[in-house]
């Protein structure tokens, strides 16, 4: 990267060219004092009418709370907004003119949420507290949709209901935070069937404005109607989070956490905590580093996961552990990846894979039943890694649709078609006639381009065939291939008239990678999974390979180095370690990996052999994991566990399309928090205390530019 010095300041002020703050705030800085006076609320003169006293209160005049212009007559000098950028709305109350809290509806408290009232409540005197969602002013009637996290309730103001409250309601604007007191009345013919509270409304006798609001940069009321840019949403995250759709997500997320805690506790698991600041572990995901002031020159790492600590809990005899915990990984972000994320972390002693599955299946069943009202049949289906790869080309197959991969290598041997004959592996997908209509010649050309792309696996090409109504085999390469091969392919793929057959011939790896990508592309292209279909295809993928081979031929742990081989394959560990299968498993939902785990090694001889295969010397293993190996000298129980990605589960359960919609304060793709403008350079004094000196930053000019934030 060549932009880091400017980049450093850019981190502090992402939009270096423009002003960081919206015009309204700039206006506030220069004219705030004057404007504040104009909007100074009147002190509260008398206690509010409490609902119980409402009957006799109207004559006394309502408590109108602090109003915008005192008496609302505009007698106070009100500076005319002259500059283009001046906003109408000033900041909230000046200090010193805050109304006495003793007179506030705050003291009365709310009687109901804004989503609670129904026809049954007609006649009740109620107090509601919330935000102005929308205001509709008809002169003699002002309607306000009052919003809190539970819903919307229509409040109506009128001169005949309460003149002063009606007059004050004239000043209400979007997102003012207010309280109202009044009587629930039936709406009769005017009921709004689109609102759960639509059968009733509140005739407001009291209005209290807790705080005013500038015109918000994000329209809370329009919620899903306007797709506000991600940068604005993140800068004003607290407004974004006011949107009912996001509130729903976080209410769901909270339920998920609650049901998890209850279900795990019911199953005998203890909720135990592990440190976030831990020993740096090389390998795996990149760690965030935390310098230690008390130990100059040394660093903690932020935990990638509680992995080792939960295993030590097993050594400690806690038997069953779970934790809803944050994990930190300094890797590039994605739509479904954040640098800090939350895991449901689980470990149990005397574990077998089935015992882990049983526990997690109960959790899944409870979550879907209690959060979504959906029954998930258990046990969940299982598929070995080898079968998943063979049938779907993926270790996290989306099984909401078919299009399974069909092995054709044997069928095309000796077919005469060189492209197929010479390939190490040939596989195909059958697109049934019912879905094949969009696969026109030009569309097939596009799919050919698709499979050639590097990110999709980089196949050399896509071979296709169409089965004619008479069963004929129609393909560009048909004449290059024997009739017998046509028949063999059709038979193997179970092709019917009208079907379109797609083939990839290449290395085993390429064929599976490409067909996996192609399969998912066809899912979207042919709309094989309707977006509104709430289908939940869970799957355990089991028996992962213990090791993966790197390009240089060395083996690395596919899961992590403490993963146990299958007990029936300990011999292979010596004879052919590359073939050893692990007691490792993933939980997959609709093509998303939502969890993964393994049975751990508890035998020191097996662990030693695995380290040996990984090329880890005894000394190196001792240095990295000495404390764990030492612990395993003292009677470790056989154990294993799993971690579920809470964020991804929340994303799928809420139907959110991004992790950012289920994480309250997420980071951007560059890992920045646009609301707090983080990260920022550190004070030199702070660095000095840590004995840290910055190296020249990439792109820095000689002599170095200031890295101080310019804001």
Partner RNA sequence: GGGGUGGUAGUUAAGUCGGUUAUAACGCCGGCCUGUCACGUCGGAGGUCGCGGGUUCGAGUCCCGUCCGCCCCGCCA
Q: Which of 150, 421, 593, 612 binds RNA (CB under 7 A)?
A: 593
Site for RNA (CB under 7 A): which residue of 15, 60, 120, 708?
A: 15
- Which structure tokens are listed for 571? 């011999």
From 72, 284, 291, 638, residue interacting with RNA (rule: CB under 7 A): 284
Q: Could you tell me where the beta strands, DSSP code E, fall in 262-339?
A: 270-271, 277-278, 289-291, 299-302, 320-328
Question: Which of 59, 96, 101, 227 lies at the binding interface for RNA (CB under 7 A)?
Answer: 227
Stretch that binds RNA, among 94-102, 226-234, 271-279, 476-484 (CB under 7 A): 226-234
Q: Which of residues 554-573 bind RNA (CB under 7 A)?
A: 558-559
Candidates 94, 230, 407, 521; binder of RNA (CB under 7 A) is 230
| From candidates 46, 85, 369, 487, binder to RNA by CB under 7 A | 85
Contact with RNA (CB under 7 A) among 25, 113, 174, 409: 174
Q: Is 332 in the site for RNA (CB under 7 A)?
A: yes
- Pick the binder of RNA from 232, 241, 257, 608 (CB under 7 A): 232
CB of 14 or CB of 70, closer to RNA: 14
Q: 590, 541, 512: which is closest to 395 by C-alpha?
A: 541
Among residues 58, 118, 173, 261, which is the contact residue for RNA, using CB under 7 A? 173
Query: In whole angstroms, what is the distance from residue 126 CA to residue 202 CA?
Result: 8
Six-digit token string for 252? 């769901």
By the rule CB under 7 A, 111 interacts with RNA: no
For position 196 contacting RNA by CB under 7 A, the verdict is no
Count the residues in the chain.
Answer: 711
Pick 32 or 159: Cβ nearer RNA: 159
Q: Do residues 201 and 187 lie in contact, with contact meaning Cβ atoms separated by under 8 Å?
A: yes
**Contacting residues for 703 by C-beta, under 8 A, at least 6 apart:** none
Closest CA to 520 of 579, 477, 456: 456
Instruction: Report if residue 6 touches RNA, rule: CB under 7 A.
Output: yes
Element (H, E) at 163: helix 159-169
Residue 154 binding RNA, by CB under 7 A: yes
Strand partners, 600: 563
Q: Which residues 506-535 are close enough to bind RNA by CB under 7 A?
A: none
Identify residues 425-444 at the interface with RNA (CB under 7 A): none
Q: Kindly identify the residues of this chain, within the stretch 633-652, that bind RNA according to CB under 7 A.
A: 643, 645
Q: Which of 247, 492, 590, 668 binds RNA (CB under 7 A)?
A: 668
Those residues with Cβ within 8 angstroms of residue 102's Cβ, 6 or more apart along the chain or in another chain: 47
Nearest to 58 by CA among 70, 43, 48: 48
| Residue 3 burial (10 A CB sphere; 0-12, 13-18, 19+) | exposed
Give residues 348-387 in contact with RNA (rule: CB under 7 A): none
- For 301, the 3-state DSSP assignment is strand
Q: Which stretch binds RNA (CB under 7 A): 113-121, 327-335, 463-471, 518-526?
A: 327-335
Phi, psi at 72, each rounded to 5°: 80, 10
183 contributes a contact to RNA by CB under 7 A: no
Nearest approach, Cβ of residue 305 and RNA (Å): 7
Q: Is 141 in the site for RNA (CB under 7 A)?
A: yes
Within residues 201-220, the interface with RNA by CB under 7 A covers 201, 215, 217-219
User: Rounded CA gap, 672 and 664, in Å?
Assistant: 14
């Amino acid at each position: 990267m060549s932009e880091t010095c400017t980049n450093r300041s850019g981190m502090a002020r992402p939009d270096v060219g423009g002003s960081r703050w919206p015009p309204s705030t700039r206006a506030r800085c220069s004219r705030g004092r004057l404007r504040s006076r104009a909007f100074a609320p009147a002190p509260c003169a008398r206690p509010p009418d409490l609902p119980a006293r409402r009957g006799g209160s109207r004559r006394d005049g309502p408590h109108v709370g602090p109003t915008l212009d005192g008496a609302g007559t505009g007698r106070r000098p009100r500076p005319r907004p002259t500059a283009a950028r001046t906003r109408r709305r000033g900041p909230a109350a000046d200090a010193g003119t805050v109304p006495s809290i003793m007179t506030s509806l705050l003291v009365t408290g709310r009687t109901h949420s804004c989503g609670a009232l129904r026809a049954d409540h007609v006649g009740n005197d109620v107090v509601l507290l919330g935000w102005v969602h929308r205001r509709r002013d008809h002169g003699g009637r002002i309607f306000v949709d009052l919003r809190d996290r539970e819903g919307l309730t229509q409040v109506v103001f009128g001169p005949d209901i309460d003149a002063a409250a009606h007059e004050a309601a004239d000043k209400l604007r979007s997102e003012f935070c207010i309280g109202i007191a009044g009587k629930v009345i039936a709406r009769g013919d005017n009921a709004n069937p689109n609102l759960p509270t639509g059968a009733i409304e509140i005739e407001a006798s009291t209005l209290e404005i807790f705080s005013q609001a500038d015109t918000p940069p994000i329209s809370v009321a329009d919620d899903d109607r306007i797709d506000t840019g991600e940068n604005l949403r993140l800068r004003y995250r607290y407004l974004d989070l006011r949107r009912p759709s996001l509130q729903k997500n976080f209410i769901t997320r909270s339920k998920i956490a609650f049901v998890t805690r209850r279900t795990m506790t019911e199953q005998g698991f203890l909720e135990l905590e592990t440190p976030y600041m831990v020993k740096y572990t090389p390998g795996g995901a990149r760690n965030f580093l935390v310098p230690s002031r008390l130990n100059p020159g040394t660093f903690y790492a932020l935990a990638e996961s509680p992995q080792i600590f939960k295993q030590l809990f097993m050594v400690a005899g806690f038997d069953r552990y779970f934790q809803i915990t944050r994990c930190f990984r300094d890797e590039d972000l994605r739509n479904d990846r954040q640098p800090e994320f939350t895991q449901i972390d689980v470990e149990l002693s005397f574990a077998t894979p089935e015992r882990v599955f049983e526990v997690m299946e109960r959790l899944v069943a409870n979550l879907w039943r209690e959060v979504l009202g959906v029954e998930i049949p258990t046990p969940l289906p299982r598929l070995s890694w080898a079968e998943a790869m063979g049938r779907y080309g993926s270790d996290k197959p989306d099984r909401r649709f078919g299009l399974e991969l069909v092995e054709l290598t044997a069928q095309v041997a000796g077919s005469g078609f060189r492209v197929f004959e010479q390939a190490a592996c040939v596989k195909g997908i059958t697109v049934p006639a019912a879905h094949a209509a969009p696969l026109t010649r030009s569309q097939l050309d596009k799919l050919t381009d698709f499979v050639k792309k590097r990110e999709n696996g980089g196949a050399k090409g896509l071979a296709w065939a169409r089965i004619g109504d008479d069963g004929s085999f129609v393909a560009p390469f048909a004449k290059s291939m024997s009739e017998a091969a046509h028949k063999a392919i059709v038979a193997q793929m179970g092709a019917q008239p009208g079907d379109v057959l797609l083939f990839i011939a290449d290395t085993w790896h390429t064929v599976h990678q490409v067909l996996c990508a192609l399969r998912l592309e066809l899912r979207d292209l042919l709309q094989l999974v309707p977006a509104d279909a709430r289908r939940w295809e869970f799957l355990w993928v089991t028996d992962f390979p213990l090791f993966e081979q790197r390009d240089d031929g060395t083996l690395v742990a596919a899961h992590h180095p403490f993963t146990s081989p299958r007990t029936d394959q300990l011999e292979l560990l010596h004879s052919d370690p590359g073939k050893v299968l692990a007691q490792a498993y993933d939980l997959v939902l609709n093509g998303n990996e939502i969890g993964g785990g393994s049975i751990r090694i508890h035998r020191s001889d097996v662990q030693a052999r695995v380290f040996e295969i990984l090329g880890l010397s005894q000394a190196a293993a001792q240095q990295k994991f000495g404390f764990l190996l030492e612990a395993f000298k003292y009677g470790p129980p056989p154990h294993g566990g799993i971690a579920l990605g809470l964020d991804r589960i929340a994303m799928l359960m809420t139907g959110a399309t991004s992790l950012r919609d289920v994480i309250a304060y997420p980071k951007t793709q560059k890992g920045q928090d646009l609301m707090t403008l983080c990260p920022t350079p550190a004070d030199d004094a702070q660095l000095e205390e840590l004995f840290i000196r910055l190296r020249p930053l990439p792109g820095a000019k000689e002599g170095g530019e200031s890295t101080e934030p310019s804001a």
